Structure 1
Amino acid sequence: MATEGQPPKPIVFTTHARKRMRERGAREEDVREAIRVGQREPAQRGLVLYRLNLEFNREWDGRYYAVQQIAPVVSEEQNRIVVITVYTFYFQEGGRQ
């Protein structure tokens, strides 16, 4: 997240995060958007989790879902944001805000 008047920090992905994104159906651009505009929550060990609900309206793993929630867990370092892992949740209607 950028502070006012400063450019945003670069976002880098761990190998583990990229693997989880592939397994869980998360796109890199959606993870980046979740970090930019998603709801920020504290996570374990001083990490931060962001949540963002996105319109999905397609099948995932053989079932139709209206909403995909992207939830990256990040380490907010001084000069960059490191994506540690990415969770995804799928909802048939609405979704948790």
Structure 2
Amino acid sequence: MSVRLHPHAQTRLLERGATEEEVIATVESGTPFAAQFGRSGFRRNFPFNAEWQGKVYAMKKVEAIAIKENEDWLVITVIAKLF
């Protein structure tokens, strides 16, 4: 199984403060959930302990919304939540 990122997801990485490595780890070992339109979602928490947009956060939750293509996953968007 491989994990690829759609160009839309690549753009969202920078905007939302996630890394490609975090997204791949989320798909490979995160908690799966059902997403809209028959898509699959995956979520995973990561230690953050850093500043983002002027505020310090301890944790980051990464959510990847993906579609299955044969045996591979294509991530179409990424959401990062800091807390």
Give the TM-score band, short-chain normalised: over 0.9
Instruction: List alignment gaps of at least 5 residues for structure 2.
Output: none
Between the aligned residues of both structures, percent identity stands at 35
1:69 matched to 2:28? The reply is no
Give CA-to-partner distance per residue, 1:18-41, whole Å, 9 cap, x none.
Answer: 000110011111101101111100
Runs of 4+ in 1 over 3 A off after TM superposition: none
Per the normalisation by structure 2, the TM-score is 0.96
CA RMSD in angstroms comes to 0.7
2-side partners of 1:57 and 1:35: how far apart? 22
Spell out, residue by residue over 1:27-74, the C-alpha distance to the aligned partner (whole angstroms, 9 max, x if none): 111101101111100001111111100000000111000000010100
Q: What count of residue pairs does the alignment treat as equivalent? A: 83
Gaps of 5+ in 1: 1-8, 92-97
Distance 1:54 1:69 in 2: 6
